[in-house]
Chains A and B, each alone.
Chain A
Amino acid sequence: MVFKRRHKEKLIEATLFWIGSLTIIILILICLFLFRDALTLFSTHSFYSFVTGSLWYPTADPPLYGLIPLLLGSVLVTFGAICISVPLGITSAIYISEIASPRVASFLKPFIEILAGIPSVVYGFFGLVVLAPYLQLWLDLSTGQVALTGSVMLAVMALPTIISISEDAISSIPSSIREGSLAMGATNWQTIYKVVLPAALSGISAAVMLGMGRAIGETMTVMMVTGNAAVIPGMPEGIVESVRTMTATIALEMGEVPIGSEHYHALFAVGSVLFIMTFLINLAADIIKKKYRFKLEGS
């Protein structure tokens, strides 16, 4: 009986272990295939001209696979999105966790979650038919499909991530610390601004990082609203010009390239760059989050 029970335990543990490991195995396999197909490019095309090339022109002769316009397109749109979503997201998080009554907070939170549930194509559609024409009109542009349109839409899409993670960070600050501040005659706002926010800063930074990761990897929306012109955007006027991101490039061109061609491998190379960037951003978020846990507990 004991023998049988022990075996059953072992079997369950082993099954769970392998199911758990499956995620990691899949991740490793994705990495392997992605990098293998990306590296193949450099047997026919120079690595240097890929990394430093200022033109993405796969139909030229010889074809040009310069990463820079796509990379800067992604960076510009993401940076714009962060500039909009961070102030909005953090103030919303402060309002929900510190100022709103529990009833108002419990009313607001589901709405923010709904924001996260809207498919990206719907955001793209909204950006295309509503936001782009307005921006064109207000800013007197030749087209509304510019980096800024993408930034605004991405900002809205990154908001739920930033709000909910910042809110967790703020709420996790023990209320005894707030009481300590209030008892010294600090106002509610002084307490939030000078004690709670600095204490939650690493958690909030992690939220910003994850929001950034969400924005940089977003494809459908940016493809629909940013105009997709693969030119190096000017800084800062590029924000009101058409740009093309790395994600949009892959989505637009992958359907048309012959499998195994040089162009095909170039797209994989772009995908690898994207993968490395999001990986680094998530890693940074993770490190910041850990640091913040230590900070509150002392070392």
Chain B
Amino acid sequence: MGEDFLQNFEIAIKVNNLNLWYGDNNALKEISIDIPKNKVTSLIGPSGCGKSTFIRCINRMNDLVRTCSIEGEVLVYDEDIYNEDIDVVELRKKVGMVFQKPNPFPMSIAENITYGPKIHGIKNKNELNRIVEQSLKAAALWDEVSDRLDKSALDLSGGQQQRLCIARTLAVNPEIILFDEPCSALDPISTAKIEELIMNLKKDYTIVIVTHNMQQAARISNYTAYFLHGKIMEYGDTEQIFENPRVKSTEDYITGRFG
């Protein structure tokens, strides 16, 4: 799109004319967007508008959907991730994802964290212990669980589980983290903790977050894209989108007239 407001920033994800179909259903239409590095970019829009589908294109999770087909370009650090010789494993290592519902593995807290590093070849025990501590600290969970790392992750509360999932994602040292409505299953206090965490993480990571909660988008994101019917209707500075939307339907949505 060549957004003016991004002129001075390094671009982490560049999407050009992305079209996506589920069977015959054209779920994403001509999506073009530049997502800046080390910023929080939020995707808002009513249910079924394609924002979750879009975020799943960035780490190729849509590959799991058999009927899904894609046209156009998604560049992550100038590399076309739909190119045939792209290694999806490497891509997903670089682009982590946190899901809507906390989905810890049915293992201990520590094993949840070491799972990623282990599959990517780290075997040294001290190194793994260091990663556990570092990741849990970065996800603001260390103080709550440091005395029970060998206990089941499923015994944690929902908010703790979600922070564990964030810690797990951090453990493989990604550059970009995708959040797919990470707080929709959580209570307000847990939500506040996750939001605080996301704002701290943007120093080191590029963050893309899908959210239904417009206050959340306004609170935590630098840039906001408004999706409707599989298209991006408006993309800009979060402040500008919420205070001075240029497109009528954006205004209707954020003022609660529909959605």
A interface with B by C-beta (< 8 Å): 101, 174, 176-177, 179-187, 190, 194-195, 198-199, 295-299
Q: Which 4 A-B pairs have the closest CB atoms?
A: A298-B154, A185-B92, A176-B103, A185-B93
A185 to B172, CA, bound (A): 9
Per-residue CB contact flags for chain B residues 125-158 toward chain A (1 = under 8 Å, else 0) read: 0000000000000000000000000001011000
Identify which of A179, A187, A194, A297 contacts B99 (C-beta below 8 A).
A179
Q: How far is it, in angstroms, between the C-alpha of A16 and the C-alpha of B96 when the chains are bound?
A: 55
B106 and A296 form a contact (CB under 8 A) = yes
24 contacts between A and B (CB under 8 A): A176-B99, A177-B103, A177-B105, A179-B61, A179-B99, A180-B105, A180-B165, A180-B168, A183-B61, A183-B92, A183-B96, A184-B96, A184-B119, A185-B88, A185-B89, A185-B92, A185-B172, A186-B89, A186-B115, A187-B119, A194-B119, A198-B107, A295-B106, A295-B154
Cβ A179 vs Cβ B103 within 8 A = yes
Contact of B154 among A182, A183, A190, A296 (CB under 8 A): A296
Residues from chain A with a CB closer than 8 A to the CB of B90 are 185
The 8 A CB mask of B65-103 against A (1 = contact, 0 = none) is: 010000000000000000000001111110011010101
Contact A190 B119, beta carbon cutoff 8 Å = yes
Q: Quick one: which of B88, B92, B105, B155 contacts A298, CB cutoff 8 A?
A: B155
Q: Verify A198–B106 contact, CB threshold 8 A.
A: yes
B169 contact set on A, CB distance < 8 A: 183-184
**8 Å CB contacts to A: which residues of B183-233?**
none
Nearest to A199 among chain B residues (CB) is B106
A269–B99 Cα distance when bound, in Å, is 59
B165: chain A residues within 8 A (beta carbon):
180
Task: Tell me if B120 counts as interface (CB < 8 A to partner A).
Answer: yes
Asked if B66 and A101 sit within 8 Å, CB to CB, the answer is: yes
B116 near A: Cβ within 8 Å?
yes
In this assembly, does B38 line the interface, its C-beta being within 8 Å of a C-beta of chain A? no
> Which of A176, A183, A185, A194 is packed against the most chain B CB atoms within 10 Å?
A183
CA distance A4 to B93 in the complex (A): 70
Closest Cβ of chain A: how far from B115's Cβ, in Å? 7
| Complex: A298 Cα to B64 Cα, angstroms | 28
B59 within 8 A of A: yes
Q: What residues of chain B have their CB less than 8 Å away from a CB belonging to chain A?
A: 59, 61, 64, 66, 88-93, 96-97, 99, 101, 103-107, 115-116, 119-120, 152, 154-155, 165, 168-169, 172
| Cβ distance A64 to chain B, nearest Cβ, rounded Å | 52
Q: Choose one: A176, A194, A195, A198; the contact of B101 (CB below 8 Å).
A: A176
Q: Which residue of A lies closest to B169 (CB)?
A: A184
Whether A181 contacts B64 by the Cβ 8 Å rule is: no
* B104 neighbours in A (Cβ, 8 Å): 180
Which residues on the B side are within 8 Å of A180 (C-beta)? 99, 103-105, 165, 168
Using A177-B103, A182-B61, A184-B169 as known contacts, say yes or no to A194 and B92 having CB atoms under 8 A apart: no
- Closest residue to B155 on the A side, CB-wise? A298
**Which residues on A sit within 8 Å (CB–CB) of B103?**
174, 176-177, 179-180
Most A-side CB within 10 Å, residue of B59, B119, B155, B165: B119
Cα distance A86–B248 in the bound complex, in angstroms: 63
Which of chain B's residues have a CB closer than 8 A to the CB of A199?
105-106
Known: A177-B103, A190-B119, A198-B106; 11 extra A-B contacts, CB below 8 A, are A180-B104, A180-B168, A181-B115, A183-B92, A183-B96, A183-B169, A184-B92, A184-B116, A185-B89, A185-B119, A296-B106
Chain A nearest CB, measured from B81 CB (Å) = 13
Chain A residues closer than 8 Å to B97, beta-carbon distance: 183
CA distance A180 to B169 in the complex (A): 9
Known interface pairs A180-B99, A185-B89, A194-B115; A299-B155 also in contact (CB < 8 Å) = yes
